[in-house]
Amino acid sequence: MSGQTRPRKQTKKQPQPVVIWRQGIHLVGSALWCDALRAQELCFVSSALALHKSRRRAGTLLTTLTTMSLLSALQRAPSGAQLLSPLGRPFYWGSLRLELFANGDLPGSASLWVKLPSEERVVFAGQPSQTPSPLVEPMQLRPAETLVMAAPFASLLANMPSLQALAEQVMGELAAAHGQGVPLLIRCSSVTKLAELAQRLDQGRLKLAPELHRALVGCQTLPHFPTLVSGASRTPRPGQVLWWPLEAALPSSPWKPRELVIPDGLGLAELVAYARGSGAQRVYLTAGYSESVAHALAPHRISAAPLGPPEQLGLFGEAAPP
Q: Quick one: 131 and 271 in the same domain?
A: yes
Give the closest residue to 241 by CA, choosing from 201, 281, 191. Answer: 201
Judge contact between 165 and 260, C-beta under 8 A: no
User: Average per-residue pLDDT in the chain?
Assistant: 86
Give the least confident one: 2-6, 38-42, 111-115, 161-165: 2-6
Domain shared by 81 and 148, yes or no:
yes
Q: For residue 109, give the nearest of 83, 138, 76 by alpha carbon.
A: 138
Based on the fold, state whether residues 150 and 69 are members of the same structural domain.
Answer: yes
Confidence of residue 272 (pLDDT cuts 50, 70, 90): very high
pLDDT band, very low/low/confident/very high, at 14 (cuts 50, 70, 90): low
User: Is residue 14 in some structural domain?
Assistant: no
**Rounded percentage of the chain residues whose pLDDT exceeds 70:** 89
- 77 with 213, same domain: the answer is no
Percent of the chain at pLDDT exceeding 90: 58
Residues 145 and 111 in one domain: yes
Question: 79: which DSSP letter?
Answer: B
The pLDDT of residue 52 is: 65
Q: Please, are residues 47 and 105 in contact by the beta-carbon 8 Å criterion?
A: yes
Q: Output the pLDDT for position 316.
A: 37
Query: CA 308, 309, 313, 317 torsion: positive or negative?
Result: negative
How many domains in the chain? 2
**Residue 289 pLDDT level (bands cut at 50, 70, 90):** very high
Q: What is the CATH number of the domain that holds 67?
A: 3.60.15.10
- The band of 56, judged by pLDDT with boundaries at 50, 70 and 90, is low
- Helix or strand holding residue 99 (H, E): strand 96-102
Residue 240 included in any domain:
yes
For residues 202 and 224, membership in a common domain is answered with yes
Same domain, 194 and 296: no
* Mean pLDDT (whole number) for 140-157: 95
pLDDT at position 13: 55
10 Å Cβ neighbour count for 269?
15
Residue at 105 is within a domain? yes
Q: Please indicate, yes or no, whether residues 26 and 130 belong to a single structural domain of this protein.
A: yes
Q: Is the pLDDT of residue 53 over 50?
A: yes
Lowest model confidence (mean pLDDT) among 165-179, 221-235, 307-321: 307-321
Q: How far apart are the first and last CA of the chain?
A: 62
Q: Average of pLDDT values for 47-60?
A: 70
d(C-alpha 39, C-alpha 235), whole Å: 35
Give the model's confidence band at 322: pLDDT under 50 very low, under 70 low, under 90 confident, else very high. very low
pLDDT at residue 312 in the model: 46
Asked, for residue 59, whether it belongs to a domain, the answer is yes
Q: Rounded to 5 degrees, what are φ and ψ at 4?
A: -70, 145
Among the residue ranges 135-149, 156-170, 236-250, the one predicted with the least confidence is 236-250
DSSP assignment, residue 162?
A: P
Q: Which of 105-109, 128-132, 316-320 has the lowest mean pLDDT?
A: 316-320
In a domain, 318, yes or no: no
Look at residues 208, 229, 261 and tell me which one is the last residue of a structural domain: 261
Q: Is residue 314 part of a domain?
A: no
Task: Indicate if 149 and 78 belong to the same structural domain.
Answer: yes
302: domain range?
A: 19-158+265-306
Supply the pTM of this predicted model: 0.85
Q: What is the pLDDT of residue 24?
A: 85
Together in a domain, 211 and 93: no
Would residue 313 count as lying in a domain?
Answer: no
Q: Which one has a higher pLDDT value, 6 or 226?
A: 226
Query: Looking at the predicted structure, is the pLDDT value of residue 83 above 70?
Result: yes
Residue 311 lies in a domain: no
Same domain, 31 and 141: yes
Q: Indicate if 31 and 142 belong to the same structural domain.
A: yes
Give residue 140's pLDDT. Answer: 96
Q: Which of 135-139, 220-224, 316-320 holds the top average pLDDT?
A: 135-139
251-254-258 Cα angle (round to 5) = 65
